[in-house]
Amino acid sequence: MLSEEKKRSGVIAASAGNHALALSYHGKLLDIPVTVVMPRVAPLMKVNACVHYGANVIVHGDDIGESKDHAMKLSDEQNLTYINGYDHPHILAGQGTMGLEIVDQVPDLDACLIPVGGGGLIAGTALAIKSLYPNVRIIGVESERCASFSSALKEGKPVYTKASSSLADGLAVPTVGVNAFITAKPLIDKMVVVKEEYIALAILRLIELEKAVVEGAGATALAAILQNQVPELVGKKVVIPLCGGNIDTTALGRVIERGLAADGRLVRFVVTVTDRPGGIADLTRLIANLGVSIKDIFHERAWLKSDVFAVQVKCVVETRDAQHTKELEAELIKHYGKVVWGPVYF
């Protein structure tokens, strides 16, 4: 869509990763110089991939809002065409093709849950789906760490919303796009906000059940179902786009552990046992007999105020499911009395 002169000059964008990756990839194919400004929280894997595709990568800003301001400044100074990844009309039209694919593959859908960051994806997709099937429910899903679209709906216009560190880094857009907001507002039937632990749980479920590695932003719509935010959709035909697989490999292990913790399968407890020979052995035997796996164990004596011949044992263990965890807790209380369970996931 660019003129030959603009193609020669090059383009610039601000992105937490996915838009930057797409721009870098196609810029290399079309021989168009690409500069991307990415926030400091952008996953290293996405930064390196953009460099691999030949883009000029500038890491600047604590969030995508600060990166955007810097990118627009460079756009003026260096005569580069700024391409907004979630608000440019051409981008919104491109996002709409996902809606066309959805109704082509699932023409009898009842609802579609769509992750929301800057608002471009839900704007384009909702417009395409609603234009063909007006009765389909469109539900937007945001992370609690940056619910900027929900804030915009309350105020009636895009407003700044502070973005905190989130598993759904691709959705951490402090101010939604104006074009995206105006387009999507009349088409969205419901907005829901999900907790971080359910995003982690959604990533874990997709790995375990679908053998699909999906980043936090792409798994957010499933998180809404796991958190029971849309009970009205029980028994309905629902489409969830898994839109994004660029999870940072260094973070994946942590996310899986958080998902296990949120699922009640990775638990931590502290129990006081006798410090006489065999005390800790009895504890580990009890745990083993229940089929629970010990991931970590640590004992300390100095901070106990009770029996001098006692020891406090901290354990991190893995269970089959929440019911298995309850069985473990019951057995520990039965044999040792007081068990400090936690800390809870927060």
Q: Per-residue pLDDT for 65 more than 60?
A: yes
pLDDT at 346: 41
Residue 3 belongs to a domain? no
DSSP state of 135: T
Same domain, 123 and 186: yes
Looking at residue 343, its pLDDT comes to: 63
Indicate whether 270 and 199 sit together in one domain.
no
Which residue is associated with the tokens 């994004």?
A: 244
**132-141 tens-digit pLDDT:** 999 999 999 9
- Judgement on whether residues 100 and 74 belong to the same structural domain of the protein: no
* Contacts for 10 with CB less than 8 Å, ≥ 6 apart: 27, 32, 33, 34, 35, 78, 80, 81
Q: Tell me whether residue 153 is in a domain.
A: yes
CA distance linking residue 204 with residue 199, whole number of Å: 9
Q: Are residues 77 and 208 both part of a single domain?
A: no
Can you say whether the dihedral through the CA atoms of 192, 194, 199, 201 is positive or negative?
negative
Q: What is the mean pLDDT of residues 60-84?
A: 93
Residue 105 shares a structural domain with residue 235: yes
pLDDT at 151 over 70: yes
Give yes or no: residues 51 and 101 share one domain.
Answer: no
Q: What angle do CA 117, 120, 121 make, to 5 degrees?
A: 85
Residue 72 resides in a domain? yes
Task: Please check whether residue 194 is in contact with residue 218, taking contact to mean a CB–CB distance below 8 angstroms.
Answer: no
CATH code (residue 27): 3.40.50.1100
Tell me what the mean pLDDT of segment 171-188 comes to. 94
Residue 276 is predicted with a pLDDT of: 86
Give residue 195's region: left, alpha or beta (phi > 0; psi -120 to 50).
beta
From residue 311, alpha-carbon distances to 289, 297, 299, 342 in Å are 22, 12, 7, 18
Residues 275 and 245 in one domain: no
**Is the domain of 306 the same as that of 188?**
no
CATH of the domain at 278: 3.30.70.260
Structural domain total, the chain: 3
Last residue of a domain, one of 34, 63, 82: 82
Residues 147 and 106 in one domain: yes
Q: Report the distance separating Cα 57 and Cα 173, nearest Å.
A: 19
- The range of the structural domain enclosing residue 275 comes to 264-341
Amino acid 41: pLDDT: 81
CB 109 within 8 A of CB 237: yes
Give domain status of residue 24, yes or no. yes
Is the pLDDT assigned to residue 342 strictly greater than 80? no
**pLDDT surpasses 50 at 345:** no
Q: What's the alpha-carbon Rg for the chain, to the nearest Å? A: 24
**29 is a domain residue:** yes
Q: With 80 as the cut, is the pLDDT of residue 304 above it?
A: no
Write down the mean pLDDT value for the chain. Answer: 92
Please tell me whether residues 184 and 130 are part of one structural domain: yes
**Are residue 147 and residue 271 in the same domain, yes or no?**
no
101 has a pLDDT exceeding 90? yes
The verdict on residue 4 lying in a domain is no
Evaluate if residue 231 carries a pLDDT over 80.
yes
Is-cis flag, bond preceding 231, omega within 30?
A: no
Q: Which of 228, 261, 294 is the last residue of a domain?
A: 261
What's the pLDDT score for residue 303?
Answer: 66
Query: Is 257 in the same domain as 176?
Result: yes
Displacement of CA 296 from its chain's centroid (Å): 27
Average pLDDT of the segment spanning 244-265? 87
Q: Is residue 110 part of a domain?
A: yes
Residue % of the chain over a pLDDT of 70 = 98
Per-residue b/e over 242-255, b at no fewer than 16 CB within 10 Å?
Answer: bbbebbbeebeeeb
In a domain, 2, yes or no: no
Rounded mean pLDDT of 317-331?
A: 92
Predicted TM-score (pTM) of this structure: 0.85
- Last residue of one domain, picked from the residues 207, 226, 261: 261
Which among 113, 116, 112 is positioned nearest to 166, based on CA atoms? 116
